[in-house]
Amino acid sequence: GESVGLHLPTLSVQEGDNSIINCAYSNSASDYFIWYKQESGKGPQFIIDIRSNMDKRQGQRVTVLLNKTVKHLSLQIAATQPGDSAVYFCAECLISGYSTLTFGKGTMLLVSP
C-alpha cells in the first residue's frame, strides 16, 4: 500500500506486482517532464520522458501518463522487481528556450520478494 512517511511518501509492493507512482507538478506552463530513479548512494538516473503533446509514452517495463488538465504525471512499472526499489522523482521544465529542471519531492518504492 501507499503511505506518507516522515520524509517521503512510500509505496510498498510485492515482486511481480505492477507499481504506479504519482506526481503532481507545479507549473501549468511546463511542457516537458522526466522521471528519474535514485538508488541509495547514487545520483538520479534518467528513466523516461514525455512532452506535453503526448498523454502516454512507453518504455521497457515503464509507462508514463500525463494529465495536463489536473497537472498530474504517473509512472507505471510492470512486473516490479527488487532492483526497482529506489526513490523516484518527477521533474518538469519548459521545452522552449532556456529552462532548468524542477524536481518533485520523490516517492520511495519498496519491493519485497
Partner 1 sequence: ETGVTQSPTHLIKTRGQQVTLRCSSQSGHNTVSWYQQALGQGPQFIFQYYREEENGRGNFPPRFSGLQFPNYSSELNVNALELDDSALYLCASSYGGTGKETQYFGPGTRLLVL
Q: How far is the CB of 15 from partner 1 (least distance, A)?
A: 25
Q: Which amino acid is at 40?
A: S
The CA distance from 4 to 45, in Å, is: 23
Question: 38 or 63: whose CB is closer to partner 1?
Answer: 38
Q: Which is nearer to partner 1, 16 or 46 (CB)?
A: 46
User: Where on the chain is the footprint of partner 1 (CB under 8 A)?
Assistant: 6-8, 32, 34, 41-46, 49, 89, 91, 93-95, 97-106
Output the nine-digit C-alpha cell for 96: 522552449
Q: How many CA atoms lie within 13 A of 54 on its CB side?
A: 12
Provide, rounded to whole angstroms, the least separation between the CB of residue 43 and partner 1: 3
Minimum distance from CB of 89 to partner 1 (Å)? 5
Tell me the three state secondary structure of residue 12.
strand
